[in-house]
């Protein structure tokens, strides 16, 4: 009998199984590949580390970071990519790199740096799921981490301040969304009728942006104009997460 697989991740809201991109990537991949994950949602009773969420735990292993977790699942024969060609595999890596370079900074900014969004939505949501007194510290730490990652990704000299890169990261993100929309076209998934790793990543990046209700929504408004990407997110939620959301 295979060792049990337990995924510790941030929970959901706004019709999502998780509001956290990295958690959603792993949850979606597990659904696509048939990996029987036991989901352990982090709440204010959680006593484990929050630094590397999501965390996959088995009898013998503790694995963090989506790419490493997905590789671990593939080694356990849970492979959502077995029908892909070599070119499609290469395209998957290229598009994931594009997401992380062009879209991630704007997603992080939307959640963690844009002050209205952070103080009215992001900070209260994460603080409510963190035990006191860590709830006073963790959201700010996560916000600083997001800012540092934005500047690391986009802060080439002389753009060392987030205000200087803000316009550029949103331009890049909108271009990335347009590219994804054109690539998806009228297909159900990015490589046809079967979801794969790329679909898990795109879903993880887009679904929180699409569903979470923020006061400042410039990137969300652009995404909602791309109806095929919205349909893509809705279809995955309805096909793969509807029962778990109803149970929750």
Residue ranges of domains in the chain? 5-247
pLDDT higher than 60, residue 149: yes
Average pLDDT value for residue range 236-244: 85
Cβ neighbours of 60 (radius 10 Å): 6
Q: What is the mean pLDDT of residues 109-138?
A: 87
Question: What is the residue whose two structure tokens read 């982090």?
Answer: 42
Handedness of CA 245, 236, 25, 57 (dihedral sign): positive
End-to-end Cα separation, the chain, in angstroms: 28
What's the predicted TM-score (pTM) here?
Answer: 0.91
List, for residues 50-101, the tens digit of each pLDDT value: 557 899 998 888 999 999 999 999 999 999 999 999 999 999 999 999 999 9
Strand 55-57 relative to strand 37-42, pairing = unpaired
CA 127/CA 119 separation, integer angstroms:
11
CA distance 62 to 54: 11
- The sign of the torsion formed by the CA atoms of 58, 61, 65, 71 equals negative
What pLDDT does residue 24 have?
A: 97
| For range 162-188, the mean pLDDT | 92
- pLDDT for the residue numbered 43: 72
Q: How far apart are CA 52 and CA 43, in angstroms?
A: 15
Is the pLDDT confidence value at 157 over 60? no
Query: Higher-confidence residue: 86 or 1?
Result: 86
On the question of pLDDT at 245 being above 80, the answer is no
Q: Which pLDDT score, from 0 to 100, does residue 42 have?
A: 80
Assigned CATH for 5-247: 1.20.1050.130
pLDDT at 204 (0 to 100): 97
């Amino acid at each position: 009998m295979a060792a049990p697989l337990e995924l510790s991740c941030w929970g959901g809201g706004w019709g999502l199984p998780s509001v956290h991109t990295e958690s959603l990537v792993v949850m979606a991949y597990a659904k696509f590949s048939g990996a029987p994950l036991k989901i352990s949602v982090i709440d204010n009773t959680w006593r484990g580390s929050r630094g590397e969420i999501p965390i996959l735990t088995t009898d013998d292993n503790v694995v963090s970071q989506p790419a490493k977790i997905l590789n671990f699942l593939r080694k356990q024969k849970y492979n959502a990519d077995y029908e892909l060609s070599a070119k499609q595999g290469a395209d998957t890596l290229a598009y994931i790199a594009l997401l992380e370079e062009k879209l991630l900074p704007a997603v992080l900014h939307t959640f963690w740096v844009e002050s209205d969004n952070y103080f009215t939505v992001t900070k209260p949501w994460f603080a409510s799921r963190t035990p006191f007194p860590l709830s006073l510290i963790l959201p700010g730490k996560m916000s600083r981490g997001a800012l540092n990652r934005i500047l690391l990704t986009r802060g080439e000299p002389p753009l060392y301040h987030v205000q200087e890169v803000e316009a550029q990261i949103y331009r890049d993100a909108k271009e990335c969304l347009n590219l994804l929309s054109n690539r998806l076209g009228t297909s159900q998934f990015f490589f046809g009728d079967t979801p794969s790793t790329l679909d898990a990543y795109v879903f993880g990046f887009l679904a929180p942006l699409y569903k979470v209700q923020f006061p400042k929504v410039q990137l969300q408004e652009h995404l909602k104009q791309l109806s095929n990407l919205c349909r893509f997110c809705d279809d995955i939620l309805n096909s793969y997460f509807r029962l778990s959301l109803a149970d929750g």
